[in-house]
A and B are shown apart, each in its own frame.
Chain A
């Protein structure tokens, strides 16, 4: 994507730096991955379109309700262009997307872009907050566990993290509401205050939902990171070297093993991100947060195809970009990977 920036004509003649940049593995990787993402994203939107259209029910009857007469429904279908054949509608939508126009919502007078603009920040903030909680909890715990495997802390952590993985998010959400909103009212049970209206209130509203998203994730990452750390500590030569230099056990663990374990963790985060965003749907429903998942549920039941397509496209793009960022970060964390031509 940055090829146009690096191939500046002014620098090109004899510009060794520009040529080096253009042939840099990171850029080539980015370019290749972004290109190969196009058919995947196309497949995703096409599948969504087919699914929503193959199933019984359409936007006209969903929006007008059960009391509408067939004539009203027909008139409304024509107004929404639902009477046109499937491929014409899809082609029309796809043509718009190629030109950067996501179309407009069938259920409301808004454009899809403005719906996304409204809803996306809430979900992104929730995910970011949850990820921060996850790392703050899981990284220190994993290091503590790995410091003395099968010790008391380790066993306790393993039991608790297993429970954390096994608990259903809606159960966790309800329990948290029961304890922290009903019994000891610290946090609000539902509702959302935008970040513009005050950052303290905003964070307070998002705390319970973020914990619900973060806890299973933190439990899983703790287990993953602990196992990875133990593997590093037992089988890697650089650990022996670090110990032989006389470094203390904590230093070996946090500065040598942990740095290498981050590579494994990064892969898992990249893989999880799609489901992580998906998981916000239920959480947003429980806590009535006006995020993208909440909108998705509404759009599906309204058969609001353009909005669903827009959201699916954003989900897909986030997944692709996250996986790319993961691959690029590998190079930062591990110099050995940086110079190898990595195959996507």
Chain B
């Protein structure tokens, strides 16, 4: 909904014939840097969001003291300062990052399992099953998922679980489409035909021959999808349909900071930078792996 995003990623950019030749020409280190740098930044972000608050006394993300509001950056005890109600910004960033990454991971896993399974089944079995499943997928694609997302979060009440299910409305059809295309490509390959001729059952061929072969494609796709999910989760928070407001999340911080933007731009800028860096790293990593594994 937010970016043309959700679809940007279902339509792969042609890998470009220069990707292999260029890797050799410009030295191996640059190629691996395309993967290691975003990977390392992501690992650091994940470490600070999930593990750091367990081992280091980070202030609480909510319930800060009203005596210490609007502290500037680099204040003692509050590296990124405090917000208008005295909550530590750094802590809200870390706990908000947890929400973003948890939602992103959950939505991708749900999409991968459900969408991937249906897409593979449809393409492998063909016939009426494919026709029915693909028409359902068509409906989902023509259906503005936003309506479903907003309706779900509006009526079930805002919460992390509801956000996850609502956003899965985007990921399931997207994975379905990718898995179907991958299966169609693999279905008549010699190794699948050989497996079929040697009497393997359909489920065995699908699980042991098709799945491992399309996993790289689905995994890179899910990295790119995770970036989109983080943006969408923030959008739901921003519209007031996501994590309920005092709870820490990047979208909430941006929405709350919006009112003070002309006085304290940092309330918007700090979470925005974290959001941008996370999504950028996910996209770079996805792109890098796509080029390395030669998937399209």
Interface size class of B (residues with CB under 8 A): 35 or more
Contacts of B17 in A (CB 8 A): 230-231, 234-235
The interface stretch among B41-49, B91-99, B107-115, B272-280 is: B272-280
| B128 beta carbon closer than 8 Å to chain A | no
Closest residue on chain A to residue B1 by CB atoms: A278
Q: B6 contacts A171, CB within 8 Å?
A: no
Q: A40 contacts B135, CB within 8 Å?
A: yes
Contacts of B2 in A (CB 8 A): 168-170, 279, 282
| A133 beta carbon closer than 8 Å to chain B | no
Per-residue B-contact encoding for A220-237, CB less than 8 Å = 1, 0 else: 100110111011001100
| B151 beta carbon closer than 8 Å to chain A | yes
Contacts of B262 in A (CB 8 A): 178, 182
Q: From residue B260, how far is it (CB to closest CB) to chain A in Å?
A: 11
Q: From residue B234, how far is it (CB to closest CB) to chain A in Å?
A: 6
Q: How far is the CA of A300 from the CA of B262 in the complex (A)?
A: 31
Q: Dominant SS at the B interface?
A: helix
Closest residue on chain A to residue B138 by CB atoms: A40
Closest residue on chain A to residue B284 by CB atoms: A162
In residues 180-218 of chain B, which contact A (Cβ within 8 Å)?
Answer: none
Contacts of B231 in A (CB 8 A): 168-169
Q: How many residues of A contact B (CB 8 A)?
A: 64
Q: A162 contacts B283, CB within 8 Å?
A: yes
Given the known interface contacts A150-B26, A275-B1, the answer about A163 and B7 at a Cβ–Cβ threshold of 8 Å is: no
Q: B139 contacts A40, CB within 8 Å?
A: yes
Q: A297 contacts B150, CB within 8 Å?
A: yes
Given the known interface contacts A56-B156, A174-B254, A308-B147, the answer about A275 and B142 at a Cβ–Cβ threshold of 8 Å is: no
Some 15 contacts from A to B, beta carbons below 8 A apart, are A48-B147, A56-B156, A150-B18, A162-B280, A165-B8, A169-B235, A182-B262, A216-B3, A228-B14, A271-B11, A275-B4, A282-B2, A301-B154, A312-B147, A320-B142
The 8 residue pairs across chains A and B that have the minimum distance between CB atoms? A55-B155, A43-B139, A227-B16, A166-B280, A166-B279, A227-B14, A171-B272, A168-B231
Residue ranges of B at the interface with A (Cβ–Cβ < 8 Å): 1-8, 10-11, 13-18, 22, 25-26, 135-136, 138-139, 141-148, 150-152, 154-156, 227, 231, 234-235, 238-239, 251, 254, 258, 261-262, 265, 268, 272, 275-276, 279-280, 283-284, 287
Residue ranges of A at the interface with B (Cβ–Cβ < 8 Å): 39-41, 43-44, 47-48, 51-52, 55-57, 149-150, 162-163, 165-171, 174-175, 177-178, 182, 216-217, 220, 223-224, 226-228, 230-231, 234-235, 264, 267-268, 271-272, 274-279, 281-282, 285, 296-297, 300-301, 308, 312, 315-316, 319-320
Supplied contacts A55-B151, A279-B1, A281-B146, 7 more A-B pairs, CB within 8 Å: A56-B155, A168-B231, A174-B268, A272-B8, A282-B1, A315-B142, A315-B144
